[in-house]
Amino acid sequence: MKIAQFVDEELTRFYGVGAFYRIHTIDDLIGHLIVGLAPHTSVGIIGRVIGFINSQVCLGSPIWHSAKRRDCDGDADSVMLLMDIFLNFSREYLPDRIGGLMDAPLLIQPLVFPHEVQRQAHNIDIDDTYPLDFYRSSWNLEKTTNVIDNIDIVKKRLGQANQFFDYKFTHTTDNIMLDESHSLYSILSTMEEKLKMQISTAKLINAVDADEVMSMVLTTHILPDIMGNLRAYSSQSFRCTKCGQKYRRMPIVGRCLECNNELTQTVTRGTVEKYVQTALNICSEFKINEYLTNRINTLQTELSLLFKQNVKDQHTIIDFI
């Protein structure tokens, strides 16, 4: 509401035209267009406000969420008023550093076609009932492909008119929210806490292989993070703590050429090593395949060579006799 009121004031006082939103209550926002933008992306997806809920979540069509590349994994998300973007966004505001073009609505997609989104959204069932054969097959632990023909899913409607509407559900409810108004993921402060919660949850579910879950965490998150930070460390720039001057390479004199002040690193050792011990703990606690284990051990060796402990003075030839 505050943003809508700011936009209206901007239109009237700065541009000399009429107000657009004219918001008096929160219900006045219903029907207005918004733009959803997920982290680390630069394409906003048009949506429309249809209601509100007293919870720290953004409810919407799975097609819309998938178009934003947001698979409801508990990470951050955002919505913006369309008029706010039209008036107040410019590429001139964006930083010139690498990554400066991310997290900004450089493009806006007005229509979303289900066949263009991620395949996970295509597997959502949109039927009003499950046939008896489905339960029998589930009891017999049959493969999904053996029973999927009896259930209506998004994938079957691709290319047809009803791919956009008439999504059904099996059970009605007065309130889709439970007592909790926010995800536990949002109140855990550290990566270690979130990982421990994920592990404990995986162990509670019989259908989940905790060893496989941890292997996926290593493959998709921890290993790429360590390698990416290591690469950033080896190619980092240096910054003057006094005048802010930046250097692609450390000057020969080892100090700022502008003010002769000390230079500091832009990527620290702690950033590179922060998940190494976590990765080692996972390998020791769970059954991780040999390749991933060796890969982590290799990274640990590389880091130990990069960050040598207790470096002595330069050796003389006598030290090797």
pLDDT, averaged per 10 consecutive residues of the chain (321 residues), comes to: 96 96 95 93 94 85 88 75 94 78 90 90 92 88 81 93 92 78 76 85 88 91 89 86 86 88 85 89 91 91 79 60 59
Among the residues of the chain, which ranges form H helices? 2-9, 62-67, 82-88, 119-122, 132-139, 154-157, 191-204, 210-217, 223-234, 269-273, 276-285, 290-306
198-236 CB burial, b ≥16 within 10 A, e <16? bbeebeeeeeeebeebbbebbeeebbebbeebbeebeeb
Both tokens assigned to 257: 């050429």
DSSP label at 299?
H
Nearest to 198 by CA among 226, 217, 224, 221: 217
Centre a 10 Å sphere on the Cβ of residue 64 and count the other Cβ atoms it contains.
Answer: 18
pLDDT value for 11: 97
Structure tokens at 216: 């996926």
pLDDT at site 9: 97
Q: What pTM did the predictor assign?
A: 0.68
pLDDT of residue 155: 93
Which stretches of 252-311 are assigned E, i.e. beta strand?
A: 263-265
What's the pLDDT at 4? 97
pLDDT of residue 177: 73
Tokens of 145: 């492909």
Looking at residue 72, its amino acid is: C
